[in-house]
Amino acid sequence: MTRQQILADLRSGKAQFDVVVIGGGITGAGAAREAAGSGLKTLLVEQKDFAWGTSSRSSKMVHGGLRYLGSGHLGLTRAAVRERQRLMTEAPGLIEPLRFVMPHYQGQFPGPRVFQTLLAVYDRLAGVRSRQRLSPAQTLQWAPGLAQSGLLGASLFTDALTDDARLVQRLISEARRDGAVCLNYVAAKRVIRDDNGWVSGLKIGVDGEPAESDITISATRIINATGAWADQLQNQGPSDQPLSIRPLRGSHLVVPWQRLPVTCAVSLFHPDDKRPVFAFPWAGTTVLGTTDLDHRDDLSHEPVIASTEVAYLLKVATALFPGAQLTANDVVSTWAGVRPVVTDGQGKAPSKENREHALRLDKGLISIAGGKLTTFRCIAREALQAALGESSPFTVRPDGRLVFSQAQAPARPDAIRHATWRRLTGYYGLDLVQLCVDADLTEIPGTDVLWAELTWACRHEQVIHLDDLLLRRTRLGLILPNAGAALLSEIRQHCQAVLGWDDQYWQQEVERYLALHQHAYALPPGEAR
């Protein structure tokens, strides 16, 4: 069924849903996947694009959170490391193990003994041992070019890395396979309640359409998984359980791997505020991140890195790898994401805020916010269980069920390299066979992305704008110089007809995309070359 057919069905009033999920980020996609997999008729709506907010702009790490263990959040860390192990097992190629090196320097905290003790607890919680203590010489083998003055050695351990936007897409694909209806660029306008205050429906609006075209959906269970926007919907009417969100911005720099060739994640406590900052390999580049500060801009606008954040990240790069002499001129792109941290309002420093999730129940409206990317499944299941309550005829599917459908991988085409094939199996799962049918399996120059991935996204993944395709379905706009502008004519040849855009609309989308990239994914004015 096409998007227009789905919308027509919703307008007819014939479609009935057991649960409506608001928010197409990692938590909403996880909730839709669990709901549809439990046999509930499920609708998911997202006001912008899937993963547009935090879930395409995270640090890409699927980890247990050593910093949270150090802060005494044992339960959060235990849940996270066990989910990390589960996800790596279920979706290799999408969630991949990544070695982390924490160098230890004379006079800096934590020292190797303290950190190794912390890692011992970390490994015990995960049920696997990955920690190792490295000598200075071994450290430099793992991280050539690392600053050597005062180097005592390093601690080596394993966490995991993902493409967060593709993780969301894989979950949405799984939810759709189980019957969920998932729509981007459809905003939740207002929760409708009966005379007793219980949820009875939801008014939604399609982006670009007038208010009189808004659609009313009948629903008695709504999961509000809108992240940084969760308090706006939860606090829309009188509530005895208000939700207070503190939006915190985390920004990143992308530099060519050749300028900072790391094969593992290298971490250091920033000299200014003692926060852990990383350099790690991702999608053929090296990423520096992340910052942690209050985001005071309008949440409906693209978050943007500040000049102070650029300087902050370049400073730690210089401290870690002085010989690289990185400058702003090396930056290929940037991204900034807003973390939806639930706050108690006690005025803590951003990095001291609790990262655990919070849930609010309000007569059929379940609001969920906070938490970690790694524990999305646990958070989604908790929200769904709360939505169903004790009297529901439905039950949440057993905890041991797979998140991702499993099938024997098809034979690898000769045209595709082994590493690329592994990534594709993780990104697309059961869709991989169809993706390869009558498709261009050559790689886009300078990347391991196939032209087939672009055309697949245009046909099957609700690409509404060019930035959906180049910033989230693929990451070409982040990993190629100048937003991938040199490839736009070839992208047009592959994608314009599939999208059904005429020449004028294509040009409008190109102009929109390049302006957006310059505003939110490039260096701030004054930092550029």
**What would the pLDDT profile of 276-300 be if each residue is shown by its tens digit?**
899 999 999 999 999 999 999 999 8
Q: Where are the domains of the chain?
A: 3-54+165-244+353-388, 98-160+248-343, 418-520
Work out whether the CA dihedral 381, 384, 386, 390 comes out positive or negative: negative
Query: Is domain 3-54+165-244+353-388 in CATH 3.50.50.60, yes or no?
Result: yes
Pick the CATH number of 98-160+248-343 from 3.90.78.10, 3.30.70.2860, 3.30.9.10, 3.30.70.1060: 3.30.9.10
pTM of the predicted model as reported, rounded to 2 decimal places: 0.96
Q: Which residue has the tokens 């999305």?
A: 376
**Homologous superfamily of 418-520:** Alpha-glycerophosphate oxidase, cap domain (1.10.8.870)
The DSSP secondary structure of 355-391, one letter per residue, reads ---EEEEETTEEEEE---GGGHHHHHHHHHHHHH-SS
**What would the pLDDT profile of 224-280 be if each residue is shown by its tens digit?**
999 888 887 766 655 566 778 899 999 999 999 999 999 999 998 898 888 889 999
DSSP H or E segment with residue 488: helix 488-499
Residues facing 204 on adjacent strands: 188, 215
**According to the model, what pLDDT value does residue 302 have?**
95
**pLDDT at residue 521 tops 90:** yes
- C-alpha span between 503 and 510 (Å, rounded): 11
Secondary structure of residue 242 in the 3-state scheme: coil
Work out whether the CA dihedral 429, 430, 435, 438 comes out positive or negative: positive
Secondary structure of residue 475 in the 3-state scheme: coil
Phi first, then psi, for residue 300 (nearest 5°) are -80, -10
- C-alpha span between 160 and 131 (Å, rounded): 14
Peptide bond into 290 cis (omega under 30): yes
Secondary structure of residue 44 in the 3-state scheme: strand
Cβ atoms 269, 276 nearer than 8 A: yes
Q: Give me the mean pLDDT over the 92-110 stretch.
A: 94
Q: Give me the mean pLDDT over the 208-226 stretch.
A: 94
Percent of the chain with pLDDT over 70: 98
Q: 108 vs 480, which has greater pLDDT?
A: 480
pLDDT-based confidence at residue 351 (cuts at 50, 70, 90): confident
DSSP E strand boundaries for 456-522 = none
Q: Give me the mean pLDDT over the 61-74 stretch.
A: 83
Residue 421: count of CB within 10 angstroms of its CB: 18
Phi first, then psi, for residue 248 (nearest 5°) are -120, 130
Secondary structure of residue 288 in the 3-state scheme: strand
How far is CA 393 from its chain centroid?
Answer: 33
Provide the pairing of β-strand 365-369 with 358-362.
Answer: antiparallel
Q: Which two tokens stand for residue 503?
A: 């020449």
**According to the model, what pLDDT value does residue 482 have?**
97
**pLDDT at residue 55 tops 70:** yes
Q: Which residue has the tokens 């995270």?
A: 58
**What would the pLDDT profile of 450-502 be if each residue is shown by its tens digit?**
999 999 999 999 999 999 999 999 999 999 999 999 999 999 999 999 999 99
**pLDDT at residue 173 tops 60:** yes
- C-alpha span between 495 and 219 (Å, rounded): 37
pLDDT-based confidence at residue 350 (cuts at 50, 70, 90): confident
Q: Which two tokens stand for residue 485?
A: 């502008």
- C-alpha span between 217 and 464 (Å, rounded): 23
Cβ atoms 67, 276 nearer than 8 A: yes
pLDDT-based confidence at residue 117 (cuts at 50, 70, 90): very high
Buried b (16+ CB within 10 A) or exposed e, 253-263: bbbebebbebe
Percent of the chain with pLDDT over 90: 81
- C-alpha span between 146 and 103 (Å, rounded): 9
What type of residue is 480?
L
